[in-house]
Structure 1
Amino acid sequence: MINNILAVLVHSSNKKTLDILSSILSGDDIKVTTVATNKDIKEAFENENFDIFICQNDPLEKETEQLVSTFLSHYHSMLTCKIGDEENLGDFNCDFFIRTKDLSDEHNLQVLLRNVITFAKKQRIQSELAALLLHDLRSPAQSIIGYLELLEKEIFGELNDGQHQILQNAVTLSDRLIYLLEELSQIYRFEQKDFALNISRIQLREFIDIALRTLWVQADKKNIKFVPQIAKDLPVISADGLALERVLINLLTNAIKFSPEKGTVRIYVDKSENYLGEPSIRFRIADSGEGIPTERLNAIFDKYYRLKADRRQTKGMGLGLYISKLIVEAHGGQIGVYNNREGGSTFYFTLPLSPYVKREPT
């Protein structure tokens, strides 16, 4: 069943503005939360999922800009609307913009906000219908695999070599379809915040050793050598082990795939600081391939990157990297990539020692 209640967060340091916006937005199908301080913004984002964030910038304080930008990176499906002057737009992008002078024109303001609400409702419906479709597709796809496997095992009669090969190809393609559906479902859950990180204590050296052993056979087929360089004084961290393992294995798999025969994949893990100066753990995976075209570095983690770029050059760098980005950001970390001067590229991600963790949905 589709949830028709929209959650709207409104921020302004001006109480009159908060009252005006709250009065216009309030309704049976809209839940409005108003905040005036940085502390209020942080508490609101940590305790609830929002469909729309409306923010008056006049202009925003730098600390508020950074706080909002950080939380926006966790809310990929949330619409943002700024109210202010064009010269004070701030550093983070928005989906809608309302001029300050429109606050004094109640009728015009109602029309503008109604358009934002209408768009958000349509987006919500499309998103939830997509989730239902993904769920409904998984069961018949799994049934198809079951029938194909019965045929391949000759339950209904003998097959020749050509028929076996065709069925094997069909099963392989069906498995890929199931995997794709699962990735799309996971993306939806992350973007909608319909998930909770399963936090546990992780011994990093043991964790990394397991990931490398998992991919040893894959690397050995290309005679690729793993060269781990792990700092000795790494602390135990709190993170979702399975989710973090997916990130590390995905980056290592890409490094193997894009490194040449008899190449090298280097793994660096050490203590560092994030962009806020907070103590963090930094992971770097450096391959020995050809590197990534400079103009594509900024798009490499985009969900639609494989659709925009050349398929041959981006094989394996599509949804996996986007999911990795969602997982790292859910831990309060950052992920990125750069080309090495000596050739190849390095994917990195950081995890704060005291990560921001979204509370479980209620």
Structure 2
Amino acid sequence: MIQNDIHLLDLISRDKLEEILYHFTQATGVASIITEINGEPITTPQNFTSLCSKFCRSTVEGVKRCYDSDSYGGQESARQRKFVIYKCLNAGLLDSAFPIVIDDMHLANVLMGQVLEKPMEKSVAIQKATEIGVEDIDGYLNELQSVPIVDRDQLKKIAGLMAVVTRTISELALQQYLSYRRSRRYLNKLVNSVSDGIIATDGNFLITKINEAGATMFGIDKLEIVGNSLSSLFIDPTAINAFHTIVDLGEEESARFELTAVDSDLRNFPVQLALSGIKSNSETEGFVAVVRDITEEKKVEKMKEDLVGMLTHDMGNPIISIQKALQILVDQILGELNVTQMEMLRLALGTGNQLLGLVSDFLDIYRSENGQFLLRKELLSMESVLMKSIEQVQLFAMEKKIGISFVPSEELKKFNGDRTRLLRTCVNLIDNAIKYSPESSKIEICIKKVMLNEEESIPTRILKRLRQDIPYCLVTITDYGAGIPEKYQKDVFDKFFRIKNEDGILKGRKGTGLGLSYCRLVVYAHNGYIWVVSPIKGWDDKHNKGCMFNFVLPLVD
């Protein structure tokens, strides 16, 4: 017999096995049970005699002898490849054993019997009771009297029926096993065909299985890695251990991390680890981990970041030089210009400002992602920033015959902020308003000093994020264009996000999708908040719903 790699209950349910035994015992009147090959019960006892249930299995030694007896019968029947009738090693009753064997694997024993051919001598019974430590000898002898008397020929006929039942169970188990093995073989092929490492663990993160890719990734033989802790594969397993605690508390069932792994040559490499709990009856039995080596991705990401940083930095200087040259011409330092020449130069200067702003967006977002974004604060007026912003986009507004209304506030005082970046933020917002406004419409810009808890227009979710004991500067930029659907309003500040219409074509002018992401970066860096409102309450238009971008900045550090 070969070593088992599967359990009988993996193939046939306990309920089905017990149903078979129940009907067998009802028809024959003898006791029956299915046990492990070592004698431990798999099913509940069926029709056990009171002698066995009350006395033979009532002591430690009695239970041991019963298990040993059932194991002996099963081993003998498996060796002889047929059922065997024998005296049990406990009370000396007649039992019969049948092996459940599939694919040369001895899975379990089917036992029946607990009968006598003839009454047992009293002295023999007393000796057997004494050997297992029974104290109530009279009770033992009394229950012995109720054990069924069955002659051997009749017992053989009953055993023959049980042999048929056992073969039926074995054939059913075999069919299930073949199906299981085919599916398992397919699953193994599937798991071993992927390039990511797949690791299975028990409930304590001890590795039970690993696929070929995982073993290759860590440079460890599959057999050697089994039994080791999952945490031993990583430099800092804190996140894994924390996840284990979270799962125990029932708060999460899966998580994703980026960790540093270590292979058999002590080489460190970055990986992405996805962990999920495997549950049974609401309890976590183990975990499955998918490990992906992201070394090459990190290299490409670093190269991309370095390239973007280099390009944006190196492009800024020549653009600034061009801007300065254009400004000299516009200021007519080198000579007077006619109206047409001045208009063309102003257009070129405005386009140059847009290009410089775009490069600045790229560079600042790159700096932020690399922890290098720093504000250069100075005492400034937000009104002057807005007026300068309007000046920079005025030509584009004129092209679409869009009027820009700016309502200043006399209450506002100067505060500390990064002039250049706030200017770029306002230019981005006003430029967007122009892009998405219909021709001959208007844009309204307002600025005022507010206390957040006194301003009704501030959403509750924002009040929870900001201080309410200090004054803020509130800026609103309103256009009367198509507006932003509610489903997109949480995403418009994400990098590279652009709204599409129903046909999948970008609405309005094409852009990089960085402008609003940059605005959020700058406002958040100033400890403020930015949000969008659409449609505009009170605006009644069948085609246009309007859009209002708002941001608040603290007026004290």
TM-score by length of 2: 0.37
Larger Cα-atom Rg: 2
* Cα pair distance change 1:317/1:139, threshold 3 Å: closer
Q: CA–CA distance in 2 between the matches of 1:199 and 1:336?
A: 23
Secondary structure of the structure 2 residue equivalent to 1:215:
helix
In the alignment, structure 1 residue 275 sits paired with structure 2 residue 464: yes
Structure 1, unpaired ranges of 5+: 1-21, 35-52, 60-82, 102-107, 146-172, 356-362
Residue 57 of structure 1 and its aligned partner are, at CA, apart by 9.3
Alpha-carbon shift at residue 241 of structure 1 (Å): 0.8
Could you tell me which of 176, 181, 188 is aligned with 2:366? 188
Paired position in structure 2 for 1:348: 550
Equivalent residues in 2 for 1:47-58 (5 A)?
none
How far does residue 214 in structure 1 lie from its aligned partner after superposition?
A: 2.4
Alignment of 1:94-109 (within 5 A): none
Q: Specify the SS of the correspondent of 1:265.
A: strand
Which of residues 433, 437, 440 is equivalent to 1:255?
A: 433
The RMSD of aligned alpha carbons is 4.7
Q: Secondary structure at the match of 1:311?
A: coil
Which residue of 2 is the match for residue 329 of structure 1?
524
Task: Report how far residue 348 of structure 1 moved.
Answer: 1.3
CA distance in 2 between partners of 1:174 and 1:283 (Å): 26
* CA distance in 1: counterparts of 2:555 and 2:241, whole angstroms: 30
Q: Measure how far apart 1:88 and its partner are.
A: 3.8
Kindly indicate whether the alpha-carbon contact (under 8 Å) linking 2:312 and 2:362 is maintained by their aligned counterparts in 1. Answer: no
* Cα offset, 1:25, TM superposition: 7.1
Between the aligned partners of 1:335 and 1:134, the Cα distance in structure 2 is 26
CA distance, structure 2, for counterparts of residue 226 and residue 325 of structure 1:
23
Q: 1:320 to 1:276 in 2, by over 3 A?
A: closer
Q: Hey, what's the Cα distance between the residues in 2 that align with 1:179 and 1:210?
A: 14
Choose from 434, 439, 444 the match for 1:266: 444
Q: Secondary structure at the match of 2:426?
A: helix
CA change 1:135–1:294 in 2 (3 A) is closer
Displacement of 1:262 after TM fit? 2.1
Identity of aligned residues (%): 26
Q: 1:350 to 1:100 in 2, by over 3 A?
A: farther
Structure 2: any 5+ residue segments left out of the alignment?
A: 1-230, 258-272, 279-286, 320-350, 453-462, 540-544
What's the CA shift string for 1:33-64, capped at 9, x where partnerless?
A: x9xxxxxxxxxxxxxxxxxx9996999xxxxx
User: What SS does structure 2 have at the residue aligned with 1:298?
Assistant: coil
Residues 314/86 of structure 1: CA separation in 2 closer, same or farther (3 Å cut):
farther
Check the 8 A contact 1:86/1:99 in 2, yes or no. no
Query: Looking at both structures, which has the greater relative contact order when contacts are Cα pairs under 8 Å and sequence separation is at least 6?
Result: 1
- Give per-residue Cα distances to partners, 1:67-89, cap 9 Å, x unaligned: xxxxxxxxxxxxxxxx5567546
Cα 1:180–1:252 change in 2 (3 A) is: closer
One-letter identity of the residue aligned with 1:209: M
Output the amino acid matched with 1:320: G
Q: How does 1:30-179 map to 2 (within 5 A)?
A: 83=246, 88=251, 124-135=298-309
Q: Contact 1:131–1:185 (CA<8 Å) still a contact in 2?
A: no
Distance 2:233 2:311 in 1: 41
Match of 2:422 in 1: 244
TM-score by length of 1: 0.54
Residue aligning to 2:81: none
State the distance in 1 between where 2:435 and 2:415 align.
29
CA distance in 1, matches of 2:235, 2:240: 14
CA contact (8 A) 1:58 1:88 kept: no
Q: Which amino acid aligns with 1:275?
A: K
Aligned-pair CA distance for 1:248? 0.4
Contact preservation (8 Å) 1:300, 1:317: no
Distance 2:244 2:474 in 1: 36
Residue matched to 2:494? 302
CA contact (8 A) 1:138 1:178 kept: no
Q: Report the equivalent of 1:200.
A: 378
Q: Do 2:357 and 2:424's aligned partners in 1 also have CA atoms closer than 8 Å?
A: no
Q: What do residues 284-308 of structure 1 show as CA deviations (whole Å, max 9, x unaligned)?
A: 1000112122222222122131397
The amino acid that maps onto 1:293 is P
